[in-house]
Structure 1
Amino acid sequence: MDIDSEVDQGTQNALLGLVHRHTGISMTAKKWTLLQGRLRPRLRALALRNYRDYLALLENTPDEVRNFINLVTTNETSFFRTPRVWDYFAQHYLPRWFDAHRGAVFHLWSAAASSGEEAYSAAMLCEEFRARHPSFQYQIHATDISSQVLASAMTGQFHGRSIDGLKAARPAMLAKYFRASAGGYAVIPALRTHIMFSEHNLYRPLAAREAFDLALLRNVLIYFETADQECVIENVRQSLAPDGMLIVGESESLSRLKTGFAFEQPLIYRNHGAPHDRTA
């Protein structure tokens, strides 16, 4: 029997609903073909007859949920994506933060880290800043809901379009912070020691004791409905320092949302909501 034959509406709706339940991502019925294409190889690998059988597996096998999340999430990223954001970070944000927080450790949260390019981009610029200001200290926490892309990020190994883009845009960074390895390039250990990776669902608060100075939540809000966007943004805000900053993606804005953030400039917002007691 063809896996795709006779997929009843109830099964479609249930699987679309599970995407939202487990990730917060909203998929309407118009996205069924996309979801079907992402799940089809998994059904074949499990030798399942149809999507109804896979739905039953998901509902009765918690371990399969992780595979489901890996399949339904979108992971598109690159080094130094949206260059003006990184120019702001290096030329304006870091110098001002350092002047105002002498002796403190800078904490950055890459909240939708994907395969790690964003976190490593931030680390490279932090290292460049530290070369000019030796007392500067930093730590980066990189999270993603997908265990699959996080496993890739933790290796620090890159190749293909990711490296090609870095080589074209910032060849000096590639030469300084990467070493050739089998089939690609590996991030140097000195950079990796400043980054901690962990799984996290943005639909839930982050269990971290430190308050972050800056959170990067880029190109992820577009996958959520308004109420879910506000939930995610508040979860992120609760992990920020009282004067913490948030940077969103180039096609995203908080202007129509109810949040605890004040507009600074396009894509960049400052926390102005009630502080969160992390010792509670």
Structure 2
Amino acid sequence: MPELAELNPLEFAALAGLVREHTGIAMHEHKRVLLQGRLLPRMRSLGLARYRDYIERVRADRTELQPFINLVTTNDTAFFRTPAVWDYLERDFLPAWLAANPGCTLRIWSAAAASGEEAYSMAMLCSEFQERHRGFRFAIQATDIDTGVLATAAEGYYEGRSAERFGASRPDLVRKYFRSEGEGIRAIPELRAVVRFGEHQLLAPWRQGAQFDLVLLRNVLIYFDEATQERVLHSVRAAMAPQARLILGEQESITRIATPFDFEQTHVYRIRQGQS
């Protein structure tokens, strides 16, 4: 197969349009080399030498859409990322929620779960809290648009930097909830059982049951323009219970855009009073 030329501006614009259409992600010109590098192996595997041929394949062949989405999305997460968030959840949110909702089940949504480290961190935090408060019950839903990372998350197997950083920062939890396997660690079945993983596009409405009491939407809004951020946040709000809390990433602020949320403290937002 002849060597591929560099992605030209017209082809990049077409691909960026497909990315926005199917993921909501705004991909700007400085991402051209990144996009080219991600698509090249896939094009070679399909025997395609021209980017315009691949663009037509994505447009015409629905079976190619999910591989395309998996290639263009970014998945960067870690166990117990941003300690201040987990301190807030453990010391403030969980005790207050349990006191206000005795006998109820806390429903949690990890809304851009990537490879699952955040969802399993939440599961460990809740499991530890449950040991101290036997009446506490919880359910965790973890979603992502990338089916490849969801498969990894469901397996609960981690190696490399993710496992190393987790082992260095929380060795007690690694020993309790993971087992060594090969070059990495795997979550024990009991931990995997309390997290449900599934595919979801954040711009789409949530139609899968009861509203959530806590939503973690961390380090994903930064990939959207302001108009798309507003759409995502209104969609997420519709899936939240009235007294729920929204947790955002350390690089994210929504105070400049029109949303149904008010700032509560760093990383934490509550639903604006009077919003239905």
Q: Whole-Å Cα distance in 2 between the matches of residues 126 and 30 of structure 1?
A: 41
Aligned counterparts of 1:191 and 1:28: Cα–Cα separation in 2: 39
Q: How does 1:76-95 map to 2 (within 5 A)?
A: 76-95=76-95
CA distance in structure 1 between the partners assigned to 2:8 and 2:263 by the alignment: 46
Is there any run of 5+ residues in structure 2 with no aligned partner, and where? none
Task: Tell me the CA shift for residue 11 of structure 1.
Answer: 2.2
- Map of 2:250 onto structure 1: 250
Partner residue of 2:12? 12
Equivalent residue number for residue 42 of structure 2 = 42
Structure 1 position 205, deviation (Å): 1.3
**Residue 48 of structure 2 aligns to which amino acid in structure 1?**
L
4+ residue runs over 4 A deviation: none
Residues in 2 aligned to 1:52 and 1:118: alpha-carbon distance in whole angstroms: 37
The 5 Å alignment of 1:228-239 reads 228-239=228-239
Distance of 2:5 and 2:19 partners within structure 1: 19
Q: Which residue of 2 aligns with 1:274?
A: 275
1:30 CA drift (Å):
2.8
Q: Write out aligned runs for 1:38-187 (5 A).
A: 38-187=38-187
Identify the range of structure 1 (197-206 vs 106-115) with the bigger mean alpha-carbon deviation.
197-206
In structure 1, runs of 5+ residues without a counterpart are 276-280
Percent of aligned positions with the same letter in both sequences? 50
One-letter amino acid of the counterpart of residue 109, structure 1: W
Q: CA deviation at 1:12?
A: 2.1
Query: Residue 8 of structure 1: CA displacement?
Result: 4.4
Q: Deviations over 1:217-241 (max 9, x none)?
A: 0000000000000000111111000
The one-letter amino acid of 1:203's match is L
Q: CA deviation at 1:263?
A: 1.0
Query: Which position in structure 1 is the counterpart of 2:260?
Result: 260
Report how many aligned residue pairs link the two structures: 274
Structure 1: distance between partners of 2:49 and 2:193: 46
Task: Tell me the residue number matched to 1:2.
Answer: 3
How far 1:151 moved relative to its partner?
0.3
CA RMSD of the aligned region, Å? 1.1
Question: Aligned runs of 1:213-224 on 2, under 5 Å?
Answer: 213-224=213-224
Deviates more, 1:229-238 or 1:32-41: 32-41
Contact between 1:214 and 1:244, CA under 8 Å: does it hold in 2?
yes
